[in-house]
Amino acid sequence: MSRGRRRTMSQNTIQGNEVWKRLRKNKMAILGLFITVGLIIVALLAPIIAPYDPYEVDLSRALKAPMEDGHILGTDQLGRDQFSRLLYGARISLRVGIITQAISLVIGIIMGALAGYYGGRVDDVISYLINIFFAFPSLLFAIAIMATLGPGLNNVFIALGAVSWPGLARIVRGQVLQLKEQEYIEAIRALGGNDLRIILKHIIPNCLAPVIVTATLGVAGAILSEAGLSFLGLGAQPPEPSWGLMLAMGRTYVTSKTWLTIYPGLAIMITILGLNLLGDGLRDALDPRLKQ
C-alpha cells in the first residue's frame, strides 16, 4: 500500500473518530441511533420474533383485545395478529426508505454535480427542472405518479424516488460550486485530469457530509410518505402489513377498537422521530459550525 493511501486512510479514521465523539455528546442523537438500529434489528429478525404468521386469516379470533388469547397487541378484523404485522411492517418501511433514497441519491448527485461543475446552460436547464419539481407539493406529485402507474409497492419506490431528488441535487450543486474553485481542483485539471475523474474522485467525496444528513432525513420522509400513500390505497396492497394500510383498515373501528390505529400510528411516529433525531445529530457532528 502506498504512503499516500495510508495517509488518506489515517486521516479518514481520525475524522470518523471526531465525528463519533461529537455524536456521542448529543443524547438525543444517540436516542435516535438506538431507535434506528432497533428498527433495523426488528426488520431483519421479524420472521424469528413474530409469534404468528402476519398473513394468516382466522375470523374466529377477529378483533381480539390486546393480551387476549395470547395476542400481545390484539388482532384485526380478519383475525391477524397485530404484533406480528407491526414487525413485518418494519421491513416494508425500511425497504421503502432505503430504496427510495438510493434512487434519490443517484439522480440527485448526478444532476447536482453536473449543474454545479459545468454551469452555464447545463446549470440553467437542471436548475429550471429542480424549480419545476419544487413548485408542486411532493406528496401530491407522488400521488399523481401513482395514479398513472397504478397502486403497488414497486411503484411507490419509483414515485417517491422521482419526487425526492431535487432537494439533494440543490445541496450537491451548491457544494460543487464551491469545491470546483479550490486550488487543488485547478491543479488536478492542469495536470490533465479529466472531468469524470475530478467529479467522481475529488469533488463528490467532499460533498458526502450534507448528503448523508439529507439522506437520513429523507428516509424518514419516504417512510411517512409511503404510509400516507398506503392509507389512501395507492401504496402497499392487502394483505401486505404496511403500517399505513393497517391505519386505513382500522379507521372504521377508531372509536371502539382503538388498538387497530394506535399501535401502527405509534410505530410510524417513533420511527420518524428516531430518524429525525439521528439526522439532526449527524448534521451537528459532521459540521459543528451549523450548530453555532
CATH label of the domain that carries residue 276:
1.10.3720.10
Model pLDDT for residues 176-213, shown as the tens digit of each residue:
998 888 888 888 888 877 888 888 888 888 888 889 88
Q: In whole angstroms, what is the distance from residue 269 CA to residue 271 CA?
A: 6
pLDDT recorded at residue 1: 45
Whether 13 maps to a domain, the answer reads: no
Q: Which residues contact 169 (CB under 8 A, 6 or more apart)?
A: 107, 108, 109, 111, 112, 115, 126, 130
Q: Do residues 52 and 241 lie in contact, with contact meaning Cβ atoms separated by under 8 Å?
A: no
Q: Do residues 178 and 224 lie in contact, with contact meaning Cβ atoms separated by under 8 Å?
A: no
What predicted TM-score, i.e. pTM, was given to this entire model? 0.88
pLDDT recorded at residue 283: 86
Q: What is the mean pLDDT of the chain?
A: 88
| Grid coordinates belonging to 96 | 421503502
pLDDT recorded at residue 5: 45
Q: Do residues 161 and 108 lie in contact, with contact meaning Cβ atoms separated by under 8 Å?
A: no
Whether 267 maps to a domain, the answer reads: yes
Q: Do residues 179 and 207 lie in contact, with contact meaning Cβ atoms separated by under 8 Å?
A: yes
User: Which residue range forms the structural domain that includes residue 282?
Assistant: 26-290
Please check the confidence at residue 290 and state whether its pLDDT lies above 90.
Answer: no
Whether 7 maps to a domain, the answer reads: no
Whether 67 maps to a domain, the answer reads: yes
Q: Which residue has the cell 460550486?
A: 177
Whether 59 maps to a domain, the answer reads: yes
Q: In whole angstroms, what is the distance from residue 237 CA to residue 6 CA?
A: 51
Whether 159 maps to a domain, the answer reads: yes
Q: Which residues contact 203 (CB under 8 A, 6 or more apart)?
A: 113, 117, 176, 179, 180, 185
Angstrom distances, CA of residue 105 to CA of 37, 144, 165, 231, 284? 21, 22, 7, 26, 21
Whether 16 maps to a domain, the answer reads: no
| Grid coordinates belonging to 249 | 383498515
Whether 19 maps to a domain, the answer reads: no
pLDDT recorded at residue 15: 64
The single-letter DSSP state of residue 178 is: H
Q: In whole angstroms, what is the distance from residue 218 CA to residue 268 CA?
A: 15
78 backbone dihedrals φ, ψ, rounded to 5° = -105, 5
Model pLDDT for residues 227-260, shown as the tens digit of each residue:
999 999 999 899 999 999 999 999 989 888 998 9
> Could you report how far apart the first and last alpha carbons of the chain are, in Å?
40
Q: Do residues 76 and 260 lie in contact, with contact meaning Cβ atoms separated by under 8 Å?
A: yes
* Counted domains in the chain: 1
pLDDT recorded at residue 88: 96
